[in-house]
Amino acid sequence: MSSGDDDQTISRQPEFTFRAELTPEQIAFFREWDAAVPTLYFMDICVANIAKVAGPTPPTDPRKAAWLDELRRLDRPQHAFSYLLALMEKGSDPRAHLPDEALADQISQDLASLRTFFSQARVYESNAMVALYLRELRGNPVELARPRYLAFLRAANEEFELHRPLARRLRLAQATKILERADALGVSRQHLTVAVVLACLYGNPHAINVMKFKPDPQRFAAENALADVMMIRRFMEQKLELEKMAAEGRCPYLRVKLLTDDEGVRQLARYFEPSSLRSRSDGGGRETRLVTNVQFLKLLTDLAVDRQKRSAMSQHTDDHERDEFDALCTMILGGTESGA
């Protein structure tokens, strides 16, 4: 962390991973061991809704029933559940029509329902904390560059027609135009929205599922697509901050995890791992810059699949394929850093 309170950098805490083939009994053991680690779970708005409306009768929807089983399994004294991501989405959505007082009452009822559902785990945010945050958030975007991101996503849908597949020989030229459009709109080439749009161009099914581009521009829900992408970013920011606090003994939760009912978002989030977060005061707000490690080749599904096929056939990587991936990396890493 830097010396000043107004300018600070948070870096990712050390962690390790391992791979092994396990028996069903071993899987059950590790699953239980995993659930024993004190964890703060960030719920998206859908998971929060499933928990808050839970009643004595099991839901007929098998997906919702599975979520309730999982939430009850995680309902332990060492855990907490955060409503923050749902609050950010509700409070900053410009399409919301509820008056401030009605929205505050609705959120207060949500928190009460969640506290009723979780009999052992705590709901992380207090009513006072949520009320204060909502007053600051109401009617204002969480990200000041939101209009630029929306314009970029609409260009991806209308101008670049990413709702339809593109011939492979045309992809790199199209990617170049997409990056140039990001520059023109003041969106960093390294921003999460740009990475997800490029993932759609290169056939990533999870990115395509999240974006939901449409031939009819009126049917493309740019606000929804951006909300899903920015939820990943917001979660990564919270993860870095809270895990640093835990390492310093200022937070009892050793881990932070995302619970989302959107399979596309869940799978897409796996390609991104937060590395560091820098924040500083900027006029009336606060500027943050998140650095992430991206599994970029895997994110670009078509290039990754082609490389795997050639590797399985013991063939050298095609020069064009290698050049295409390298060219993308060069354009992105050497691109304009304006924008958030």
Rounded CA gap, 95 and 141, in Å? 11
Residuewise pLDDT in 10s, the chain (340 residues): 344 456 777 877 666 676 788 898 888 888 888 889 999 999 999 999 999 988 888 889 999 999 999 999 999 999 999 999 999 888 777 666 678 888 889 999 999 999 999 999 999 999 999 888 888 776 566 778 999 999 999 999 999 999 999 999 999 999 999 999 999 999 999 999 999 999 999 999 999 999 999 999 999 999 999 999 999 999 999 999 999 999 999 999 999 999 999 999 999 999 999 999 988 776 666 678 899 999 999 999 999 998 888 777 765 555 555 689 999 999 998 744 433 4
In sign, the C-alpha dihedral spanning 142, 335, 14, 231 is positive
Return the pLDDT at 319.
56
Rounded to whole angstroms, the Cα distance separating 297 from 319 reads 16
Instruction: Provide the pLDDT for residue 337.
Output: 43
Predicted pLDDT at 16: 64
Distance CA 12, CA 240 (A): 6
pLDDT of residue 155: 98
Residue 257 tokens, joined: 């995890």
For 260, phi then psi, to 5°, come to: -130, 140
User: Do 131 and 104 contact (CB within 8 A), yes or no?
Assistant: yes
What pLDDT is stored for residue 143 in this prediction? 78
The Cα–Cα gap between 297 and 316 comes to 17
Q: Give the residue among 56, 322, 92, 43 at the shortest CA–CA distance from 223.
A: 92
Sign of the Cα torsion 61, 66, 69, 70 reads negative
Report pLDDT for 4: 46
In angstroms, the Cα distances linking 240 to 37, 187, 227, 274 are: 17, 23, 20, 7
Distances (CA, A) of 1 to 9, 66, 156, 278: 5, 41, 37, 9
Among 204, 229, 224, which Cα is nearest to 214's?
224
Residue 259 near residue 316 (C-beta atoms within 8 A): no
Domain segments of the chain as ranges: 36-141+225-294
As a whole number of angstroms, the distance between CA 43 and CA 111 comes to 12
